[in-house]
Chains A and B, each alone.
Chain A
Amino acid sequence: MTATALSRPVARGPSGRRRALRRLAPLGPALVLMVLFLAGPILWSLYVAFTNETLSGTNSVSPSFVGPANFVRMFGDADFVNSFTLTFVFVVGSAVVGQNTLGLMIALLQRGRSRATRSTVNGVVIAAWVMPEVVAALCWFSFLAEEGTLNTLTGIGQEWLYTAPMVAVILANVWRGTAFSMLVYSAALSEVPAELVEAAAVDGAGTWQRLWHITLPLIRRSIMANLMLITLQTLASFGLIYTLTGGGPGNASQTTPLYMYDKALRYGEIAYGSAMALVMLVIGALFSLVYLRLIKVED
């Protein structure tokens, strides 16, 4: 950066400013749209989180300002803490470990395979991704239900969705979301120069050594970007869990988005729900910062 600035001192000044403007101009329409459609709701939920607004009853028409009471309540609320832990398990299990590793593995295995194999595998994996969330959840429901495919095939009488709800939703989410990671990694791997890998092989590096010392370092930025995207997606995941287990049994699979929905829309505590949404927003932002930071450090 400094080197560029030093070698081209003329770039500063009026013409530079004009160029910066020209560069930003294409962002204009998007910014206007975002302000128009998103600023209102975001500011509103920010405000509501500090009131005692409800969906019906007196507080729905004349809510009062309660300061940080909702946030204080949240940290003493065992159900919230439970939902938070489950969200963490869900994100790490299904996104960071599941989708990420499986996506990378499929992408690696596909290198150098015939066109037919690749399109078949791609087709199958992407089909799961294209499927609407609710349909995917229903597929898994009929697979895992007591009289479902899995039990019929194996002859086990296990009520999976009841005995292992978190495993069920994590599996379903890995199955559905792997395609995204696979596509990101396929694209990244195609950028890895074949000569480098070959040269390493000639020098006697084994498969694992080539992967660890050549391939992974070369695609590390894609890994970070992919991790960031899938973490944010999974953090907010709602439809899949809602359809599959409804957060139950009890609250054994009630991640924070489901708990938020329950409180805000079923029990009408809009203010409390908004406060939780804000906390989730902050956590999402923290995750992104960490990933962005990691990308920078590697540069």
Chain B
Amino acid sequence: MKRVLIASILIIGVAACGSGTKEPAAGGAKELEVLYKVETTWPHLEKMLQNAKKQYEATHKGVTIKLTPVQGNNEAYYTKLALLNRSADSAPDLYYHDTFQVNADVAAGKLAPLDEYLGAWPDWGTQFPDSVKQAAKGGDGKIYGVPISTDTRGLWYHKDVLAKAGIAVPWEPKTWADVLTAARAIKQKAPGAIPFSMYSTKIHGEAATMQGFEMLLYGTPAGTLYDETQKKWMAAGKGFTDSLAFINTIYRENLGPKLSDAHNAKLSDKHTLEWFPQGKLGILLDGAWTPSAWKPTGAKPWPEWQQKMGWTRMPTQNGQEPGAVSMSGGWVMAMSSYTPNKKEAFDFITTATNKENSMLYSVGTGDLAPRKDVAADPAYSADNPSVKFWTELAEVTHYRPAFEEYPKVSAEVQEAMEAVTTGARGPEEAAKAYSDTLPGVVGGPDKVVAGG
């Protein structure tokens, strides 16, 4: 509708001028629009970008950075970005992008490859480890974004709650059974505390798939969503069903939060702002960034967390090699293929991901720093004793099969998890429903193999 309105105004008013898309304005003044995400409890990216804007505009006369925030959670951000990206007129020049969405946009030709610029940027070669560089690699082998953050996942626990349940800290579970045993002990001996929490419903979107389901599935023998050798998606096998069975046990034995909380969009705030500080949660399956809320500048300053909280690796199902599992994702700064000012846009990416800004972001969010110089800086780990542990999880971490179909597969995984969470379906039944819908989602039965 807006386009029609604009079109009609253009036709009436400036018919003679022509209306090219995204042409640099006359007089050499250029504007770069940067789209990013902000939440009241998560202002860190905004702070970093405002700093980068100041630095950039001081050295690039004639170029203005227009920061366009999207208020809301990740799901809202993905939708807004996808809608803006539908037309060259509305697409932002640069955007904060979740790595698992990159391939879909590469396939649609919406992202600009950065290789020719990266070669001339010394930091790329010296400061970014090779593993991190892969974060936004397209199916064509080109790089489509510079990492802002990376992360790992594992278990957080409240030492007092575990102690009350008679569990020795530091706690190091070796199998899923150890985790469930601890949760049952908490339920019995520490009433008033929720034994275990994780994301397992659709409202938590990708967080449910990645922090929740994949942390289980990738810890089962041969557990994966995608078979790399056959280049096919896996139907639900034993690992898939066992992962659902774990979730089923949590909720059927009342080891998890109440179902209304499991469905609450603000579950993450409940974990960090209420339950952990009040000692009402035992164990949480979540990401490295969890303590960022407890910093003096965070949403719920809680200096005691360093004594009260413990962190440990999420074990594999039966303790099989390598003993633990982690998932990694992260966000990059990406460039639109529609922007006419590619050189200027890339310069902004380098400013936003320089040492100072990268530090500002990582210290604020608690995400792991992608840059070597930031990671080595004492200021980075100064008030977060857990950083070293989470960084070392990189040894056992997995990456999502971030192909074009992945977001849809992820939605089906959430469907299965939610059915098990509410008890609408049993694990086998939900796994079968997943296998039944998978071919339709990934483009035909020939793209699917039987699960292991």
Binding site for B on A (CB under 8 A): 36-37, 40-41, 55-58, 60-61, 146, 159, 161-162, 246, 248-250, 265-268
Contacts and interface: CB of A to CB of B under 8 A. Distances in A.
Interface stretch (B25-33, B81-89, B120-128, B240-248): B81-89
B79 interface: yes
A40 B422 CA distance: 42
23 contacts: A36-B4, A37-B5, A55-B79, A55-B83, A56-B85, A56-B104, A56-B105, A56-B108, A57-B107, A58-B107, A60-B82, A162-B259, A248-B201, A248-B203, A249-B201, A249-B260, A250-B263, A250-B418, A250-B424, A266-B75, A266-B79, A266-B205, A268-B82
B439 interface: no
A210 B451 CA distance: 71
A60 B404 contact: no
Given A249-B422, A250-B419, A60 B263 contact: no
6 smallest CB-CB distances across A and B, nearest first, come from A162-B260, A57-B104, A55-B82, A159-B260, A56-B82, A58-B107
Contact of B108 (A58, A146, A250): A58
A100 B201 CA distance: 36
B419 A146 contact: no
Interface in B404-440: 404, 407-408, 411, 418-419, 422, 424
Contacts of A58: 107-108, 404
B429 to A, nearest CB: 13
Contacts of B411: 266-267
B101 A56 contact: yes
Contacts of A162: 259-260, 263
Given A36-B8, A41-B1, A267-B407, A249 B104 contact: no
B135 to A, nearest CB: 18
Interface in B259-282: 259-260, 263, 265
Nearest to B410: A267
B13 to A, nearest CB: 16
Nearest to A252: B422
Contacts of A161: 260
Contacts of B108: 56-58, 60-61
Contact of A246 (B101, B105, B203, B422): B203
Nearest to B105: A56
B69 interface: no
B66 interface: no
Nearest to B86: A60
B445 interface: no
B109 interface: yes
Given A55-B86, A57-B104, 14 more contacts: A40-B1, A56-B85, A56-B108, A56-B407, A57-B108, A60-B108, A246-B265, A248-B263, A249-B260, A249-B422, A250-B418, A266-B75, A266-B79, A266-B205
B117 to A, nearest CB: 24
A146 B263 CA distance: 13
Nearest to B424: A250
B388 interface: no
B164 interface: no
A194 to B, nearest CB: 49
A61 B107 CA distance: 9
Contacts of B79: 55, 265-266
A36 B1 CA distance: 9
Contacts of A37: 1, 4-5
A190 B378 CA distance: 80
A250 B404 CA distance: 26
The listed residue with most B CB atoms (<10 A of its CB), out of A58, A162, A250, is: A250
A161 B408 CA distance: 28
Nearest to A262: B202
B421 to A, nearest CB: 8
B54 interface: no
Contact of B260 (A55, A146, A267): A146
B252 interface: no
A231 to B, nearest CB: 25
The listed residue with most B CB atoms (<10 A of its CB), out of A60, A146, A161, is: A60
B189 interface: no
